[in-house]
Amino acid sequence: MAEPGSIADKVKQQADIVRLVGDYVRLKKSGQNFVGLCPFHPEKTPSFAVHPVKQIYHCFGCGAGGDVFKFVMEMEKVAFPEALRLVAEKVGVRLPERAPRTPEEAKATRQRTALVKLHEQAAAFFAEQLESTKEGRLARAYLNDRGLDDETIKAFGIGYAPGAGDALLRRLRELGASPEALAASGLVNKDPAYSGAGDRGLYDRFRRRVMFPIATESGRIVAFGGRALGESEGSGPKYMNSPESPIYSKSRVLYNLHRAKEAVRKQNYAVLVEGYLDCIGAHTAGATNVVASCGTSLTPEQVKLLGRSTHNVVVNFDPDTAGVAATERSLNLLLEQGFQVRVLALPAGTDPDSFVRQQGAAAYREKLKESKPYLDYLAERARGDFDLHSQEGKIAALNFLLPYLARVPNKIRRAEWASELAQRLTIDEALVREELRRAAQERRTEIRLRPEAKAIVERGAAKPAERRLLQILLDNPGIRADILKEMEDAAAHRGAGLEKVFSEVLAMARAEEAITSATLAERLPEAEQRLIYELAFEEKGQSAGTLEEARSCLAAMQRRKLEAELRAVQQQILDAERAKNNDALRDLLSRKQQLSKALEESR
Ligand SMILES: [Zn+2]
């Protein structure tokens, strides 16, 4: 983001990341770095480090990492331009006025403003309908009957879309809505019989529905969820949402977050439910820190959004809907993002909404207090599903649990989980415990008690040569060009575990871009980003690495490549023998000889 010579680059050069992070986190010097408690995940011992020379930060617990701008973006929940402005202000660099927008940009902004306005007008219209029309009063009686009092209806801005078919459309037109804005809003549909341009053939998308405004984190209404009133006679699906629009992306919005986020931060946890009514039910029961996913499963964007306010969540999904698989997907996403997850399991056949209505608010709060750590919940399920008296049953139970374990990003927590699970499942055979611990450590998803399988895993796991080479490439720019040339000539990075990373380094070198941990990480997916930040903080006897050392890493990678190729050729030879394909066999045998010789010479 900070291109060399750009204003962002200038600001970055003047900013001291240690001082800037120090404004938010109490940092202590440790070796050449600074460490402190991570502001992005809850912890008691510091795993958050700041590198004053490289001007980056990295958390070894949750994997957060980046440069000074990324830190401010994450900390202040702002986009890059705003982070740039904040950092510039702190270091006293004056930013030039923003360049004039392109006409397209200006047009898009105007359109978004118009659409937000339409949604405000629509929300006011729906609320008015619920309040003062005959049809609306019936809807209101229905809501009251479901335990939503007038105060709650008002607090959540709930309204009613009448059945007339064009009531909202007429109102919005009266208020001056343009045909383009109406068409883009998702509030109206178009009758296909009027295929031409213009706004003939438009009608209300939502009819005879209780309307729930859906707002962004900052509280702007950008969409609606509509629940059909009465379950029968062609009233369409029970729930209907606004379609995606220039202001609404379903995967990036959590229902009720704008109201709940204060409480979420204060209590440092969120309650996560599925639907609007569940959310409102939990809220009226006193859980003001509740948000809803409003879909079958969470999206990564929603998890990130929630992660800005807390990393603790109590999941309260409907236990026996089609949701079980969706629930697991959601839980996995949360684990991957370093969340501490608890599970509130309500009695079968109830969801948060119906539970609160039947048992009352106090009972729900009690359940909330009793919510179990995800681990306990899983162990309980394993106990129910497998016979833990037999060795096979125990292995099967562990295989059921390992995929969850493998998703926990923090190594120490994974190890803790592993030993706790062994205890809970009363697994005391040392061999099984050891396998579980290893599998958890290596983030494997399967237990195999065979020595040959173990060997394969070990071979695949450690690739110190690649890691070290990458570290040298980053730390020692003086020899970088030479190593990269040798690597590319020999294609040593092809098929390597870090191939993606090396290819990116090569591309950056070709484009003559500055190569640092931060600039490289920016271009890579999260797993690779973590590795790079980890490497940046790893100290290899203070040495930046020599050309000789780099060459020996390259040679090791070459050997690994040759070995892999040799294994493949040997397999092909077996196949060719079986197929009695003598021509192919001859070629393969000579290829095998070449490879063996090359391998011999490389040792
Ligand atoms: Zn962290």
Gap from CA of 294 to ligand 1 centroid (Å)? 28
Gap from CA of 343 to ligand 1 centroid (Å)? 22
What pTM value is reported for the model? 0.58
List, for residues 154-178, the tens digit of each pLDDT value.
Answer: 999 999 999 888 999 999 999 999 9
β-strand partners of 213:
224
Give the pLDDT confidence score for residue 320 in this predicted structure.
54
Query: Which bin fits 419, alpha (ψ -120 to 50), beta or left (φ > 0)?
Result: alpha
Phi/psi at 290 (5° precision): -100, 140
Judge whether 530 and 65 are in contact, CB under 8 Å. yes
Gap from CA of 519 to ligand 1 centroid (Å)? 21
Q: CA-CA distance, 324 to 488, in Å (whole number)?
A: 48
Checking if the pLDDT of 350 tops 70, the result is yes
Sequence-ordered list of residues with C-beta below 8 angstroms from that of 553, at least 6 positions apart, any chain? 465, 466, 468, 469, 472
What is the mean predicted confidence (pLDDT) over 100-127? 87
Give the pLDDT confidence score for residue 452 in this predicted structure.
35
Query: Which bin fits 558, alpha (ψ -120 to 50), beta or left (φ > 0)?
Result: alpha
What is the mean predicted confidence (pLDDT) over 186-208? 82
Give the pLDDT confidence score for residue 270 in this predicted structure.
95
3 or 520: which leads in pLDDT: 520
Gap from CA of 81 to ligand 1 centroid (Å)? 24
What is the mean predicted confidence (pLDDT) over 273-299? 88
List, for residues 4-46, the tens digit of each pLDDT value.
Answer: 667 888 888 888 899 889 878 888 988 889 999 898 888 888 8
Gap from CA of 60 to ligand 1 centroid (Å)? 7
What is the mean predicted confidence (pLDDT) over 577-600? 88
Gap from CA of 410 to ligand 1 centroid (Å)? 9
CA 2 to chain centre: 24
Gap from CA of 476 to ligand 1 centroid (Å)? 28
Q: CA-CA distance, 372 to 470, in Å (whole number)?
A: 43
Gap from CA of 18 to ligand 1 centroid (Å)? 16
List, for residues 409-431, the tens digit of each pLDDT value.
Answer: 777 777 777 778 777 777 665 65
Judge whether 184 and 115 are in contact, CB under 8 Å. yes
Checking if the pLDDT of 233 tops 80, the result is no
Q: CA-CA distance, 176 to 168, in Å (whole number)?
A: 12
Gap from CA of 239 to ligand 1 centroid (Å)? 38
3-class state of residue 504 by DSSP: helix
Give the pLDDT confidence score for residue 2 in this predicted structure.
56
Residue carrying structure tokens 């909404």:
353
Residue 517 amino acid letter? S
Q: CA-CA distance, 185 to 172, in Å (whole number)?
A: 11
Across the chain, mean pLDDT equals 83
Sequence-ordered list of residues with C-beta below 8 angstroms from that of 396, at least 6 positions apart, any chain? 386
Gap from CA of 230 to ligand 1 centroid (Å)? 48
Give the pLDDT confidence score for residue 433 in this predicted structure.
65
Q: Helix H segments across 3-100?
A: 7-14, 17-22, 68-76, 80-91
Gap from CA of 1 to ligand 1 centroid (Å)? 23
Res. 451 pLDDT band, cuts 50 70 90 = very low
Gap from CA of 92 to ligand 1 centroid (Å)? 29
Give the pLDDT confidence score for residue 430 in this predicted structure.
61
CB atoms near residue 583 (< 10 Å): 8
Two structure tokens written together for 90 = 């702190």
What is the mean predicted confidence (pLDDT) over 438-453? 62
Gap from CA of 311 to ligand 1 centroid (Å)? 10
Gap from CA of 443 to ligand 1 centroid (Å)? 19
Two structure tokens written together for 280 = 């409102």
Two structure tokens written together for 470 = 């990458």
Give the pLDDT confidence score for residue 147 in this predicted structure.
84
Gap from CA of 49 to ligand 1 centroid (Å)? 9
Gap from CA of 167 to ligand 1 centroid (Å)? 51
Give the pLDDT confidence score for residue 234 in this predicted structure.
60
Gap from CA of 553 to ligand 1 centroid (Å)? 31
Q: Helix H segments across 425-498?
A: 430-441, 451-461, 464-475, 480-490
List, for residues 567-584, the tens digit of each pLDDT value.
Answer: 888 878 888 888 888 888
List, for residues 383-411, the tens digit of each pLDDT value.
Answer: 877 877 776 777 778 888 887 877 777 77
Give the pLDDT confidence score for residue 456 in this predicted structure.
31
Q: CA-CA distance, 412 to 410, in Å (whole number)?
A: 6
Q: How far is CA 366 from CA 261, 271, 282, 370, 593, in A?
A: 22, 14, 12, 6, 72
Q: How, if at all, do strands 270-273 and 239-241 pair?
A: unpaired
Give the pLDDT confidence score for residue 459 in this predicted structure.
35
Q: CA-CA distance, 39 to 35, in Å (whole number)?
A: 12
Give the pLDDT confidence score for residue 440 in this predicted structure.
73
Res. 207 pLDDT band, cuts 50 70 90 = very high
Gap from CA of 293 to ligand 1 centroid (Å)? 24
Instruction: Name the DSSP class of 479.
Output: G
Rounded to 5°, angle at Cα 405 from 402 and 408: 155
Give the pLDDT confidence score for residue 136 in this predicted structure.
92
Q: CA-CA distance, 267 to 261, in Å (whole number)?
A: 10
Checking if the pLDDT of 464 tops 60, the result is yes
Res. 454 pLDDT band, cuts 50 70 90 = very low
Gap from CA of 494 to ligand 1 centroid (Å)? 33
Give the pLDDT confidence score for residue 458 in this predicted structure.
35
Judge whether 253 and 223 are in contact, CB under 8 Å. yes
List, for residues 524-545, the tens digit of each pLDDT value.
Answer: 887 778 778 878 887 655 577 8
For the chain, report the end-to-end CA distance as a whole number of angstroms: 43
Res. 460 pLDDT band, cuts 50 70 90 = very low
Please, is 246 exposed, middle or buried when counting C-beta atoms within 10 Å of its C-beta (0-12, 13-18, 19+)? Answer: middle
Gap from CA of 376 to ligand 1 centroid (Å)? 24
What is the mean predicted confidence (pLDDT) over 284-294? 90
